[in-house]
Each structure stands twice: as C-alpha cells, then as structure tokens.
C-alpha cells in the first residue's frame, strides 16, 4: 500500500474509525475528521489549534497523556476510553482511542470508536444486576419471615408431596400436635397417627383437592390423646412438583379460624351447655350463633337451621317485641328482665325473660341475648302449646310500658281482670264451676275454656262439676 497518497490514506483512516485526529508532537490538534454524524461532537472543528487534553473531561486527561507518550516513543498503545463533555444536561460521550506515530516530524494519528452503545448496554446490565440483587435480598427477607411465621405459628402446618404423600416440611406445632416431640415428621407418609376412618376421610379430601382444587374441611383425631382437629387442605405447584398445604386447627378455634386459649374454649363450652338460651345476632337482629338451650326453645335440631334468620321470627310478635328491644339496646347497650314469649318452629311457645347486651364497638358489632324460661308448659289436651301466664299485678302491667305496644298492654289488662274475676267467683262459690259460670254470666263450656287458658283449678274434674 506504499503508493497511497495523503488523501487516500485519510479516507482509509476515516472509514476505519468514527473519529480521527492528527496531532503534533506537543499533542495539539492539527486536523479532525468525524465519520459518524450523530456522535454529538458538533464543536469538533473548534479543536484545531488546541491541545487534545483540553477537549476531554478532567478524569480522561491522564489517559490522553499516556496515549501521546506511548505513541511518540513508538510503543504500541492499547485502547483507552476517554470521555467528552456532552451537551448541557446530557451524559458524557465515551470514545475508545488508539494512537500511532506517523512520519519523521513527530506527528501522531489518533483513531476513535463510539462507545455509546456499549456504555448503554453496560448501564442496562448494571441496572439489571442491581435489580436482581434487590429481588434476591427481598426473597431472602421473605423467606426469613416465612420461616419465622412457620416456626412460631400456633396452628399445625404440613407440606405434603402430592404423589408420594410424604411430609416434606412440618412446623413445631405439627410435631407437638402429633405427639412426636423429638422425632421428625419429615419423610413420613401422611396421614400419620390417625384412626382408620379419619385416614380414609383425609384421603378422600386430598383426592378431591387434587381433582377439583378444593374440598370441605374434615374432622380428625390424632396423637396419643386422640385430640380432635379440623383439617383444611390446598394445592399449589412448586417448580415442577405439586404439593398439598395442610392446616390442622384444634377444636376451640372460632369461626374465622383464630385460635382461642384453653380458658376461653372452656368458657365457650360452658356457654353452649348452660340451661338458659344464649344467642348472638348482628346489630339488626339476624342470628349469628346460638347455644343448645336456644335450639331447644325454638324446637330445631341444629344451629344451621336458625343461623341467618331474624331473631324476631321467634320472639314475641314480629316487629312488636324485637323492635323496641333492639332500639333500647342500641341506645342503652343493656336491657334486663324483658318478659316476652319465644315461639318454636313446630308451634310451641314459652314465656321467657330476656337480658341483653350490645357490643357496638367491636370489630364485628353484635347483640347478645340470654333467655330464661319463666312460664310453665301446659301439656293438656295434646295442644303442645305453652300457656302464657298473665300479669298478676298492676306493677307487672306498668313494667310492660316501653317493651310492648299499647294494644298488647290492653289485652294483657283484660286477661288479668278476667282471671281475677274468675278466681273471685270460684272462691265465692266454693269452687262450684256451675255456680261460678252463672255468677259470671258465662256458659259452663266457656268457663272451662277460660280455666284452661289461665291454668286455674283442677281441670280433670271439669266434666263432673
């Protein structure tokens, strides 16, 4: 290539580089050629006559001096990255330079390559690496929290391989629940330590979860104490493995799954078995929960039959007793000795005395009622209906004000007067039913009906008196 002239040599250099500089022995720029129009060095023409080191950023000047020193000493220079100040507010422009001495006058030619694409890629790589490191740190924190929660949870939790049914992981609560303190549950086949019928129920539950993704909770007994637990199961995928997440909640957990203490569990058991009816409703009187005695009052077999129904369906007359009762509860938060009648689903009724309390500031506001029977059941004539004991004094009537409507009070007053008149007639006639009926202006049959209504006298001899 010895026959190349200066112009041809310049074109070769420009074609091989994004930018080319011709420098004298003192590093002063004598010529500039920029082959890449979008390089962003629009003022490169102003470099002529200026030292090359003054056109770059401060941290790149030592690199320029090293390039010039090696080139003038005929030492092969390596590629060095230098930076030019970018437009105002923009990033610096990186250029990769190599320099070589040409001719006998100490001239140096520096050729440069645009590194912006490489720098952008490096920047993206750095950001990606930082993102990965942040995600990795977050995953470590999540795993630490998970491990801590898994260890401290009071509920037994198991991870079970869906294919082999082997326990993959178990928390300390599960080990204590199974009564295997000091022994690891990992590797054992689930269900472990259960009665045969309970194991079959759990197998059915897991098969249902695997097939359709959900199943009803089942009750099982496990451990040496045969402790009853509620078993819930869910399915999830981990990489290519499918596992069951099994949660075992001891009986004594409330409806939303929150565990209660043993003392609270005993209290709930007592409340469920007291002879007085106990029922909890929402603030509008819809039944949320009830004990066994209340179910006996309303003549149903299970709590599910009353849950979600208005309490007013069973108490007094619809809208008459419950409306003022709930209004007083919301205002006063407590009501004592509210006398009314509770009706059963099959027709029976019982006179009860209600004490109630409102809990409006709880997470779930509710009303609580305690019902105590005060009437006596009348089983005569096979009616199965309890006789309602009429008020026995004016004081009892006045106590009804605010509890029931005026129409109801008037009816109770008539009943009280009628009962007192019948009692007086029987006393005056020496319990002679025929004379008492004549005195009261009633037929004997009407008198017998009223005697039966008010549960007065011995009705077994009604046909012979």
pLDDT of residue 279: 92
pLDDT averaged over every residue in the chain:
78
Cβ–Cβ under 8 Å, residues 350 and 373: yes
Q: What is the pLDDT of residues 205-257, one digit of tens each?
A: 888 888 887 788 888 877 556 677 888 888 888 777 888 888 888 765 444 44
389 phi, psi to nearest 5 deg: -70, 125
Find all residues with CB under 8 Å of 233, minimum gap 6, and list them: 205, 206, 209, 215, 244, 245, 246, 247
Compute the distance between CA of residue 462 and CA of residue 464 in angstroms, rounded to an integer: 6
Compute the distance between CA of residue 323 and CA of residue 331 in angstroms, rounded to an integer: 12
Classify 108 as helix, strand or coil: strand
More confident residue, 171 or 380: 171
- Biggest CA–CA distance in the chain, Å, is 158
More confident residue, 96 or 348: 96
pLDDT of residue 377: 42
What is the DSSP pairing of strand 334-343 with strand 287-290? unpaired
Q: What is the pLDDT of residues 301-316, one digit of tens each?
A: 888 888 888 888 888 7
Cβ–Cβ under 8 Å, residues 346 and 411: no
Q: What is the pLDDT of residues 30-88, one digit of tens each?
A: 888 887 767 767 666 778 888 988 888 888 899 988 888 888 888 877 888 888 887 77
pLDDT of residue 319: 55
Closest CA to 54 of 14, 27, 35: 27
Residue 158 bridge partners (DSSP): 170, 246
In the predicted model, what is the mean pLDDT of residues 95-110?
A: 84
Provide the pLDDT confidence category of residue 464 given band limits of 50, 70 and 90.
Answer: very low
pLDDT of residue 40: 66
What is the DSSP pairing of strand 241-250 with strand 227-238? antiparallel
User: Residue 295 above 80 pLDDT?
Assistant: yes
Classify 113 as helix, strand or coil: strand
Cβ–Cβ under 8 Å, residues 320 and 404: yes
Classify 400 as helix, strand or coil: coil
Cβ–Cβ under 8 Å, residues 220 and 191: yes
Q: Residue 23's CB: how many other CB atoms inside 10 A?
A: 24
Q: Residue 223's CB: how many other CB atoms inside 10 A?
A: 14
Closest CA to 339 of 325, 327, 329: 325
pLDDT of residue 262: 56
Closest CA to 128 of 116, 118, 139, 136: 136
More confident residue, 232 or 178: 232
Instruction: For helices 406-428 and 433-440, give the axis angle rounded to 10 degrees.
Output: 130
| Burial environment of residue 342 by CB neighbours within 10 A (0 to 12, 13 to 18, 19 or more) | buried
Find all residues with CB under 8 Å of 154, minimum gap 6, and list them: 173, 259
């Amino acid at each position: 290539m010895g026959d190349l002239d200066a112009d041809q040599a310049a074109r070769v250099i420009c074609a091989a580089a994004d930018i080319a500089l011709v420098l004298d022995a003192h590093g002063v720029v004598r010529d500039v050629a920029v082959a890449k129009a979008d390089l962003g060095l629009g003022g490169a023409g102003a470099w002529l006559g200026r030292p090359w080191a003054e056109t770059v950023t401060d941290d790149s000047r030592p690199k320029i001096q090293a390039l010039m020193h090696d080139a003038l000493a005929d030492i092969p220079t390596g590629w060095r990255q230098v930076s030019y100040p970018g437009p105002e507010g923009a990033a610096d422009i990186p250029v990769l330079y190599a320099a070589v001495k040409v001719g006998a006058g100490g001239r140096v030619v520096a050729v440069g390559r645009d590194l912006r694409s490489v720098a952008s890629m490096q920047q993206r790589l750095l950001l990606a690496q930082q993102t990965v490191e942040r995600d990795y740190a977050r995953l470590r924190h999540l795993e630490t929290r998970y491990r801590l929660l898994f260890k401290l949870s009071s509920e037994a939790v198991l991870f079970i391989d869906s294919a082999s049914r082997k326990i993959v992981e178990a928390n300390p609560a599960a080990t204590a629940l199974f009564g295997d303190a000091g022994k690891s549950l990992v590797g054992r086949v689930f269900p472990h330590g259960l009665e045969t019928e309970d194991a079959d129920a759990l197998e059915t539950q897991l098969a249902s979860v695997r097939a359709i993704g959900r199943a009803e909770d089942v009750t099982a007994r496990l451990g040496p104490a045969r402790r009853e637990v509620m078993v819930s199961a869910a399915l999830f995928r981990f990489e290519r493995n499918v596992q069951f997440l099994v949660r075992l909640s001891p009986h004594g957990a409330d409806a939303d799954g929150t565990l209660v203490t043993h003392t609270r569990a005993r209290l709930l058991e007592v409340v469920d078995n007291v002879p007085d009816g106990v029922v909890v409703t929402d603030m509008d009187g819809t039944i949320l929960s009830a004990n066994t005695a209340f179910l006996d009052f309303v003549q149903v077999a299970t709590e599910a039959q009353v849950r979600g129904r208005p309490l007013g369906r069973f108490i007094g007359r619809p809208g008459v007793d419950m409306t003022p009762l709930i209004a007083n509860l919301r205002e006063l938060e407590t009501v004592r000795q509210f006398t009314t009648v509770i009706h059963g689903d099959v027709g029976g009724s019982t006179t009860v005395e209600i004490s109630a309390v409102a809990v409006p500031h709880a997470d779930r506001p509710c009303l609580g009622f305690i019902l105590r029977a005060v009437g006596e059941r009348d089983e005569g004539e096979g009616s199965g209906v309890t006789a309602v004991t009429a008020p026995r004094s004016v004081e009892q009537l006045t106590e009804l004000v605010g509890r029931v409507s005026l129409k109801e009070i008037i009816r109770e007053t008539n009943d009280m007067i009628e009962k007192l008149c019948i009692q007086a007639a029987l006393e005056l006639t020496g319990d002679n039913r025929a004379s008492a009926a004549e005195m009261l202006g009633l037929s004997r049959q009407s008198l017998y009906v009223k005697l039966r209504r008010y549960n007065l006298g011995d009705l077994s001899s009604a046909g012979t008196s």
